Amino acid sequence: MPYISSLSIDTEKTNPFPFNIPAIKYAKDIKMKTPVTFIVGDNGTGKSTLMEAIAFRLQLPHMDGSGYHKRNFDAAKKLIPYLNLQWNIEKSIGFFFRAEDFGDLINSVERQDNRLSTNFYNLDGEVPQHTINLMKESANYQLHHMRKNYGQELQTFSHGEAYLKIMQEKINRKGIYLLDEPEAALSPLKQLSLIYFINEHLQTHMSQFIITTHSPILMAYPGATLYEVRESEMPQISFEETEHYSVTKSFLNNPEAYLRFLK
């Protein structure tokens, strides 16, 4: 049984942003009858903004360990008074995964390492290199944060492997898990790995997954509830009815028809 049974943005406002984007205008009585719900649609339709509002309302932790004070959650804050969640079980335990947070986490460790290398440059030749390395490691709080939360240094993995590693560390008990376009960090093969991981998790944990995606591979998850954000509506549809599926299938069946103008 999903924790959240339905959600709505209950307002007549249609301006300014974020009230003028389709995912906000048409998020009315969105039923979540299954453990996995997908919200799909084109770029700019507001899927991520809707997810951020849900995460903000639940105060779910997210990847970089910070709260919701960043400016990129300003739109979500405006939506909170109008976000209506209907619960089967009221439980705000889980995690919010955003592909952009993943990139920021990896890059922040590298940026701090570069800053520290510059700061300790004058010690080179005067202090043994292993001592400099130990000093840099002690000063790199981002590296300590990463080890504390994920058990090791994620930058030693490929992006896809690191992203799955974080998921395995954080999706380890029953709860609500929001995944915002996880395919951005995953190859097609790793997307299949994510599907299998979610399925295995749900065999032993009563959890709920709400996922935004452009990936036909992910949205093919068996038995999932699927909503497509369109310019004038947000209907519940089948996997085969999505624009992502039809365009991808048509392209793979006849790529020449799409690419012949490039010659």
- 13-42 tens-digit pLDDT: 989 999 999 999 999 999 999 999 999 999
Nearest alpha carbon to residue 96 among 128, 68, 71: 68
> Does pTM surpass 0.85?
no
Return the higher-pLDDT residue of 155 and 46.
Answer: 46
Q: Which amino acid is at 42?
A: D
Mean pLDDT of 159-182: 85
Buried-state track 19-53, b at ≥16 Cβ within 10 A, e below 16: bebbbbbbbeebebebbbbbbbbeeebbbbbbbbb
Residue 125 pLDDT level (bands cut at 50, 70, 90): low
Residue 142 pLDDT level (bands cut at 50, 70, 90): low
Question: Residue 129's CB: how many other CB atoms inside 10 A?
Answer: 10
